[in-house]
Structure 1
Amino acid sequence: MPRIVTYNVHSCIGTDRRHAPERIAEVLAALEPDIVALQELDVGRARSGGVHQAELIAQRLGMSMLFHPAVTVLEEQYGDAILSTLPCRLVRASPLPGPARGLFLEPRGALWAEISVAGRPLQVINTHLGLLGAERLLQSHALLGPDWLGHPNCQPPLILAGDFNAPSASATFRRLRRHLHEAQGSQPGRRLPTFPSRMPIMALDHLFYRGPVAVERVSVVRTKLTRLASDHLPLVMDFQVGDLPDPAEADHPTASGAAPVLSG
C-alpha cells in the first residue's frame, strides 16, 4: 500500500534553532514513505551551510528527487520538492500568481510530478501557499485552473499536497474542498492540527485528492523528534489507487485553453 507524506521542514531548522537536515531524514525514514512532498527547502543558502537540502534528504532515504525554487537570489534558492521511491517524472514546475503590486511577499510556486503506482500514473502536485487570505485565493484559483488541476494531462487519480496556510474554516480550504476530497475529512473524528509542532492548534497542511484514491489511514505524526525537527508536523496518508470512477468527478473543473505542459 503506497504512503505519501507532506511536510513543511522550515529550512531544516528545528524548534531548537539548529540546522539539521539529517533529523528531517530521520523523521521520514521512520515513516517509510513512497512519496514525500516537502516545503521550505534551502539550496546553496549561507544560513544552511550552502547544502542542497532536498538532495541530501533524498540521498539519505534512497529516493529520487524533483525540486522547484520558488525564490532565487543570486546563487541561493528556496522552494519545494517531491521525493519518490517509485518511477517519477517532472510534468510542470512554475510560480503561482502573487499579490497586487506594492505588497512585498514571498513568491510561491508548485511542482507537478507523474508517479507510477502499481503500474498506473498518479499525478502529484506539491505547493506552499501564501500568508494572506486574498493571496491564497488567487493561488488556489490558479491551481484549479487549466495549467494545473484543470489541465487535460492532470487526469485522476491525483493528489494535491502541501502547506496551504489554510485552516478548515478558511475560504481557500472551502474552495478546494468544493472541487477535491480531503484526506482528514475522510476519517472519523476531528481534523488533527499540524502547526506549530510543539503545541499544534491549526491544521495548515493538507492532502487533497480526486478520482479512484481510497484513503486507508491518515495521521499526524507527533513524537519527540517531530516536535523538534521542524515547526510543522508531518501529515501521512496510506492509500490505494483503483479503476473505479470518482462519482464526484462531474463536479470538478475541466480544462479549457490549457497551457503546454513543461516536461522534464
Structure 2
Amino acid sequence: MKTPSLRIATYNLQKCVGMDLRRNPRRSLEVLEETGAVLCVLQEADKRLPPRPAALPHDMVTAERWQILQFGAPGGSLGWHGNAMLLRGDVIEVVETDQIDLPGLEPRGAIRADLETAIGPLRVVGVHLGLIARSRRQQCAALRRMMERLPPRPTVVAGDFNEWGSGADLNAELAPLRLLHSPPSYPAIRPIAALDRFSISPDLTAGPVRPHLAQPARIASDHLPITVEISPRAQ
C-alpha cells in the first residue's frame, strides 16, 4: 500500500514583481498552479508600506480556487509580515491559526497553521527570516520555544530562511526539527543560493526538495518556488 503524501511549496513572491520589473499577480498564480502543491507557504505576499495591501489580490486568488488562511486584516493584507498560506482542494481542514512576532533588528513575523490533512495532523509554520545572521538564530530559537509550548504535532517549517551558508547554526536552534537539503533557488534566472528551505519534525519523512524551473517561474520573481512531498514516518 502506497504511503500517503502531501506536496507543499514555498515561494517568495517578491510582491509579484518579476525580473522584468513588471507587477503581474496572475503570472505568480500561474507559477503556484504549476507546482502541483496543495499547500503553498508564501513570503512577500503583501506590498511593503502600511496598510500593506495584498500584492496578490484576494479575489484573484479565490477565483483560482485557492483558500486563503486568515492571517491578514479582512480585505487588506494577504498575510502577516508578508507571510501567507494558501490551500487547495478539500483534503485539508484548518484547526487553528496564529501570528508570531519574531525578535531581531528588522520587523519580522511568522505564521502558524494547525491542520488536519490527508496524511494526518500537521503543523505548518511559514517564515521569512532576517538579513542579519544573529537575528536569524534568535528567530529560529524563538520558533523552537513557541513549538515547545504547544501540544506536539508533526511539523513543517517552510519559507525564505535568508541563509547563504549551510544553515547548520539554524538547524541547531530548530532541533529536534531538521533542515532538509535544499537546491539553489535564488536568483531565479541563475540560482546559486539555497535561501528557500524546509525543516521537518522527526515524525515526518520527505522526498527530495525540488526547484520549480519551468517558465514563467524564472522571471515571475527573484526566487524560484521549491516543493517537497512529505509523509508520516512509519511507526
Identify the TM-score tier after normalising by the shorter chain: 0.7 to 0.9
The answer to whether the 8 A contact 1:92-1:112 is kept is: yes
| Structure 1 counterpart of 2:61 | 58
After superposition, residues 17-36 of structure 1 pair within 5 angstroms as: 17-36=21-40
Shift of 1:161: 0.6
Partner Cα separation in structure 2 for residue 5 and residue 119 of structure 1: 16
Question: Partner amino acid for 1:152?
Answer: L
Shift of 1:214: 1.9
| Structure 2 counterpart of 1:133 | 133
Q: Which has the larger radius of gyration?
A: 1
1:237 aligns with 2:234: no
Shift of 1:120: 2.5
Partner Cα separation in structure 1 for residue 54 and residue 98 of structure 2: 24
The answer to whether the 8 A contact 1:219-1:235 is kept is: yes
Shift of 1:41: 1.3
| Structure 2 counterpart of 1:97 | 103
Q: Identify which of 199, 212, 221 aligns with 2:212.
A: 221
The answer to whether the 8 A contact 2:13-2:42 is kept is: yes
Structure 2 unaligned regions, length at least 5: none
Partner Cα separation in structure 2 for residue 108 and residue 56 of structure 1: 26
Paired positions, count: 223
The answer to whether the 8 A contact 2:6-2:119 is kept is: no
Question: Partner amino acid for 1:108?
Answer: R
| Structure 1 counterpart of 2:45 | 41
Cα separation, partners in 2 of 1:230 and 1:2, compared to 1, 3 Å: same
Shift of 1:63: 2.1
Tell me the TM-score normalized by structure 1: 0.75
The answer to whether the 8 A contact 1:124-1:158 is kept is: yes
The answer to whether the 8 A contact 1:140-1:172 is kept is: no
Partner Cα separation in structure 2 for residue 214 and residue 206 of structure 1: 15
Structure 1 runs of 4+ aligned residues shifted over 6 Å read none
Partner Cα separation in structure 2 for residue 241 and residue 61 of structure 1: 29
Partner Cα separation in structure 2 for residue 174 and residue 94 of structure 1: 19
Cα separation, partners in 2 of 1:90 and 1:131, compared to 1, 3 Å: same
> Which deviates more, 225-234 or 175-184?
175-184
Shift of 1:91: 2.8
Partner Cα separation in structure 2 for residue 223 and residue 207 of structure 1: 21
Cα separation, partners in 2 of 1:238 and 1:110, compared to 1, 3 Å: same
Structure 1 unaligned regions, length at least 5: 100-104, 185-190, 245-264
Shift of 1:43: 5.7
Identity of aligned residues (%): 29
Question: Partner amino acid for 1:9?
Answer: L
Once the two structures are superposed, residues 169-220 of structure 1 have per-residue CA deviations (whole angstroms, 9 ceiling, x without a partner) of: 3454342464322232xxxxxx410111111111011110003212134201
Name the SS of the counterpart of 1:33 in structure 2.
coil
Name the SS of the counterpart of 1:84 in structure 2.
strand
| Structure 2 counterpart of 1:156 | 153
Partner Cα separation in structure 2 for residue 204 and residue 241 of structure 1: 25
> Alignment RMSD, CA only?
2.7
1:115 aligns with 2:115: yes
The answer to whether the 8 A contact 2:112-2:124 is kept is: yes
Once the two structures are superposed, residues 42-84 of structure 1 have per-residue CA deviations (whole angstroms, 9 ceiling, x without a partner) of: 16969x9x55626346314412212545xx9xx7785110111
Cα separation, partners in 2 of 1:134 and 1:9, compared to 1, 3 Å: same
